[in-house]
Amino acid sequence: MNQRALALGLVCLGLAGGLASPLAHAQKMRLGNTSGASAGPSLTRSQPNISPAATQAAEAAAAVPGIRQADYIVAIVNSEPLTNNEVKARVARVAQTLSSQGQPLPAQDLLVREVLERLILEKILQQQAVETGVRVDDYAVDQAEQSVARQNQLSVAQMHQRMRAEGMDPKRFRDELRNQMLVQRLRERELEARVRVSEVEVEQYLREQQGQDAAPAQLAINLGHILVALPDNPSAAQVDAAQARAQEALEKARRPGADFAALAREFSDAPEGKNGGSLGLRPTDRYPELFIDALRKVPVGGIVGPLRSGAGFHVLKVIERSSAGMPAMVTQNHVRHILLRTSANLNEAAAAKQLADYRRRLEAGQATFEALAREHSQDGSAAQGGDLGWATPGRYVPEFEQAVAALQPGQVSAPVVSRFGVHLIELVERREVPLTAREQREIARDAVREKKLDDAYSTWTQEQRARAYVEYREPPQ
């Protein structure tokens, strides 16, 4: 674990540019609230789960004579059926996500075909994962579900309640999480060892980053964000009120010496509003086109808005611009961990129970982290008391990184599942330091590796699709 384990993405669920990885997609889903509380774009309080466009499409389909309403098989994938209801549910989800991001909705027939093909590919990969012995225990699914709820400032029970109110089945949601994690672990096992990065490729990447005319995809922006949310199918009065509130936020943000973070806490309905509205430094292709188009010529410190999207009205401030992956300063974490590897004799739940007992002993002062790591950890760092040293962001797998980010120095995490096993993590120290030349090269190596891995994954999935038996039955409706 003291060597970087590449943070692999999950297989894409939606249209290109429309959705992120499956787990990320799950984290971005919005649930409504019939009480009309404030809202934001991620499982937040007043955003309906189905977009107006998706609802209209469903109503139009229901109004056409001869359209079948009962479920039926649309395709056989190897020996497994794919049903019309599965396609309909995914189409509604994709339509809602595109709408919430302010992106235009494709023609219905195109959207249905794309979703059908995505679902076919997912089933192929899920089947292969099961056949080759890849497993995801209930404990890992529990952690993923808790992560989704926590990122959206909800408890799991509250999230389930919102899902049911919006016609979503929490059990199906868990099944989707499990299937997506299966595919992630299959990808890690099948492809990671194949990808190699040469020094020549690292040098080329660094030259590109240092060039004065960086391509848009290489740029990263940190935005301050205020969202004044709208309900689904808003009335003219609701639109006018939301626009006026967004305009008020914009005018206050443009005053000399204005505190944008304080304004975000006051006006924004988005989850990040409570923390000052900062979205963090991220590549431009991870923002909606609506945002990027409005910000192309806006300097650092500039403010634009209100911008209208399916979620409501947005006010944006450019906090920082940078070449993606090459910040001048970086936050480093010094951590220790205890790793228990899972096996036929030790599943993830049992490993987590054992690590939770170690945590209780630490909190009671009955043991030290270093002593427990030397005695029990199944990682190469055990001899050093589990010490992984200082690490820049991106050095560990996403689950590990997320757990570290949530800790304060001196704190110990709850058990954390990753593809290596189950971890107990202690954050020793945190510091802000300038990147050294060596660290810049490591960041460049990681970026090149991830790009090559994405390319290899695309080729590999095409190969799996070509080898599978797919029989199309009746077209989805």
Q: Is the pLDDT of residue 48 over 60?
A: no
Give the 3-state secondary structure of residue 330: strand
What is the arithmetic mean of pLDDT over 88-109? 81
How does DSSP assign 265-276, residue by residue? HHH--SGGGGGT
CB 153 within 8 A of CB 271: yes
Confidence of residue 384 (pLDDT cuts 50, 70, 90): very high
Mean pLDDT of the chain, nearest integer: 78
How does DSSP assign 241-272, residue by residue? HHHHHHHHHHHHHTSTT--HHHHHHHH--SGG
- 216-323 and 329-434 share one CATH topology? yes
Of 161, 273, 258, residue with least CA distance to 225: 273
Q: Which residue has the higher pLDDT, 69 or 180?
A: 180
Please compute Rg for the chain using Cα positions.
24
Of 449, 184, 403, 359, residue with least CA distance to 388: 403
Q: Residue 431: in which H helix or E strand, if any?
A: strand 421-434
Q: Name the least confident of 56-60, 410-414, 463-467.
A: 56-60
Q: Is the pLDDT of residue 434 over 60?
A: yes
> In 335-368, which positions are buried (b, 16+ CB within 10 angstroms) versus exposed (e)?
bbbbbbebeeeebbbbbbebbeebbeebeeeeee
Confidence of residue 449 (pLDDT cuts 50, 70, 90): confident
Q: Is the pLDDT of residue 10 over 80?
A: no
Tokens 């922006």 appear where?
Answer: 221
Q: What are the boundaries of each domain within the chain?
A: 22-194, 216-323, 329-434
Superfamily of domain 22-194: Porin chaperone SurA, peptide-binding domain (1.10.4030.10)
Q: Which residue has the higher pLDDT, 3 or 417?
A: 417
Confidence of residue 355 (pLDDT cuts 50, 70, 90): very high
What is the arithmetic mean of pLDDT over 112-136? 90
pTM of the model: 0.56
Number of C-beta neighbours around residue 23 at 10 A: 21
Q: Name the least confident of 292-296, 341-345, 406-410.
A: 292-296
Beta strand pairing call for 470-472 and 303-309: unpaired
How does DSSP assign 378-427, residue by residue? -SGGGGGTTEEEEE-TTSS-HHHHHHHHT--TT-BPPPEEETTEEEEEEE
Give pLDDT tens digits for 201-228.
888 887 776 654 444 445 678 889 999 9
Q: Is the pLDDT of residue 327 over 60?
A: no
CB 442 within 8 A of CB 423: no
Long-range contacts of 284-290 (CB under 8 A, 24+ apart): 284/216, 284/217, 284/219, 284/220, 284/221, 285/17, 285/216, 285/217, 286/20, 287/221, 287/223, 288/101, 288/102, 288/103, 289/102, 289/103, 290/101, 290/102, 290/103, 290/314
Give the 3-state secondary structure of residue 288: coil
Q: Is the pLDDT of residue 426 over 70?
A: yes
Q: What is the CATH number of domain 329-434?
A: 3.10.50.40
Class of domain 216-323: alpha beta
Residue 234 gets the label, from left (phi > 0), alpha (psi -120 to 50) or beta, of beta
What is the predicted pLDDT for the residue at 98? Answer: 78
What is the predicted pLDDT for the residue at 100? Answer: 67
**What is the torsion angle, in degrees rounded to the nearest 10, for the CA atoms of residue 169, residue 172, residue 173 and residue 176?**
-160
Q: Is the pLDDT of residue 413 over 90?
A: yes
According to DSSP, the residues that pair with 224 across neighbouring strands are 278, 317
Give me the phi and psi of 402, to 5 degrees please: -65, -40
Segment of 53-57, 260-264, 382-386 carrying the highest mean pLDDT: 382-386
What is the predicted pLDDT for the residue at 215? Answer: 47
**What is the torsion angle, in degrees rounded to the nearest 10, for the CA atoms of residue 250, residue 252, residue 253 and residue 257?**
160
d(CA 136, CA 184): 10
Q: Is the pLDDT of residue 60 over 60?
A: no
Q: Name the least confident of 98-102, 283-287, 303-307, 405-409.
A: 98-102
Alpha-carbon distances, residue 7 vs 212, 328, 367, 395, 450 (angstroms) = 29, 22, 32, 8, 8
Give me the phi and psi of 303, to 5 degrees please: -130, 135
